[in-house]
């Protein structure tokens, strides 16, 4: 969890494993996945499933949306849309809301023209 809190934005389980393995030689990828699942279930971190091939994680912070660049694969945090609280949610307690935007980021856009 310290890895996620320390500013590593949207890492995959594999990226977390590669970062931690040198300092913890006995660490297994299965342990990383199991620990991430426990933290997700406890509400400590958020699982981001951008598409069927990738799962990323982040430390739960203020509500925000995500933009995924299909060209470079980077995931950007973007401010949550304020108008996304439909009237039918009144009286209910929303515990988690996710919205993903897919496209090409401004850095990759010139390369696609």
CB distance 76 to 66 below 8 Å: yes
pTM of the shown model? 0.75
CA dihedral (9, 60, 55, 18) positive or negative: positive
CATH topology assigned to domain 1-61:
Arc Repressor Mutant, subunit A (1.10.10)
Question: Tens digit of pLDDT for each residue in 3-45?
Answer: 888 776 899 999 999 999 999 999 999 999 999 999 999 989 9
Please give the annotated binding residues, written as ranges.
65, 69, 72, 105, 108
CB distance 64 to 75 below 8 Å: no
Kindly report the CATH class assigned to 62-113: alpha beta
Please give the annotated binding residues for Fe cation, written as ranges.
65
For the chain, the structural domain boundaries read: 1-61, 62-113
Question: Tens digit of pLDDT for each residue in 36-95?
Answer: 999 999 989 989 998 788 899 998 767 788 899 999 989 998 887 654 556 566 777 777
Please give the annotated binding residues for Zn(2+), written as ranges.
69, 72, 105, 108
């Amino acid at each position: 969890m310290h890895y996620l809190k320390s500013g590593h934005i949207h890492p995959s389980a594999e990226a977390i494993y590669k970062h931690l393995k040198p300092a913890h030689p006995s660490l297994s990828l299965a342990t990383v996945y199991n620990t991430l699942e426990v933290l997700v279930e406890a509400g400590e971190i958020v699982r981001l499933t951008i598409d069927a091939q990738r799962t990323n994680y982040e430390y739960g912070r203020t509500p925000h949306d995500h933009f995924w660049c299909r060209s470079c694969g980077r995931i950007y945090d973007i401010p949550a849309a304020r108008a996304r609280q439909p009237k039918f949610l009144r009286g209910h307690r929303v515990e988690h809301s996710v919205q993903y935007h897919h496209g090409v980021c401004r850095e990759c856009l010139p390369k696609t023209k």
